[in-house]
Amino acid sequence: MGMNIKIWNDAWGLGLPTRNLHHTDVNASALLVLDSINPLSRLVYTTLWKLQLPVKVKITFWKIFHNYVPSYSNIYHKCLRASALYPRYLVSNETLEYIFRDFQLVFAIWGSLRITWPSEALIVSLQDWLLSIFTVSAGEVIRKVVCALWFIWHARHRWVHNNNAIKIHVLVRRVQAYLLE
């Protein structure tokens, strides 16, 4: 009792003691955390939370944006897996770029949604591409990208863990229908 346990003890957090948090306004705490991240991440954060999408989609996007999702590459680097290879093909490491850009089926999904990667896409990281989307594109394009990333991540999860593949046209229709709601 009486110990200060630090939370938000990440690279972007402040390490606020929990004792002070329940006396602090939640919005003020969020502003303190926002002050500690770089301006581009702040732009993504503020734009993201203004989008008309469910919180679960926004949180998943934020995790993807900061590479906090349990891809096989991330699990491998934490020494929790023997290999970072993509489990279905064993051809490439399962990085975020592979999951959301390089995988052949995902590339077709982006094309069907009329979302393009820059011509130098192979040298652009996922985070750099998302930053360019958030700084240059209109709100509906950003909303479509965020929603598509959420659907792609969950389709990948179902395929890897449940062996339940979703066809490209079905996933594209789901994204489009979700955006119309």
DSSP single-letter state for residue 80 = S
Query: Which SS3 state, helix, strand or coil, does residue 14 take?
Result: coil
Question: From CA 85, how far away is CA 91, in angstroms rounded?
Answer: 7
Domain coordinates in residue numbering, the chain: 1-37, 39-180
Confidence of residue 8 (pLDDT cuts 50, 70, 90): very low
Answer with the residue of higher pLDDT: 72 or 9: 72
Report the chain's mean pLDDT, rounded to a whole number: 76
**Is the model's pLDDT at 68 over the cut of 70?**
yes
DSSP single-letter state for residue 38 = -
Under 8 Å CB-to-CB from 106, ≥6 apart: which residues? 99, 100, 152
Cβ neighbours of 69 (radius 10 Å): 17
CA-CA-CA-CA torsion for 137, 71, 107, 139, nearest 10 degrees? -20
Query: Which SS3 state, helix, strand or coil, does residue 1 take?
Result: coil
Confidence of residue 56 (pLDDT cuts 50, 70, 90): very high
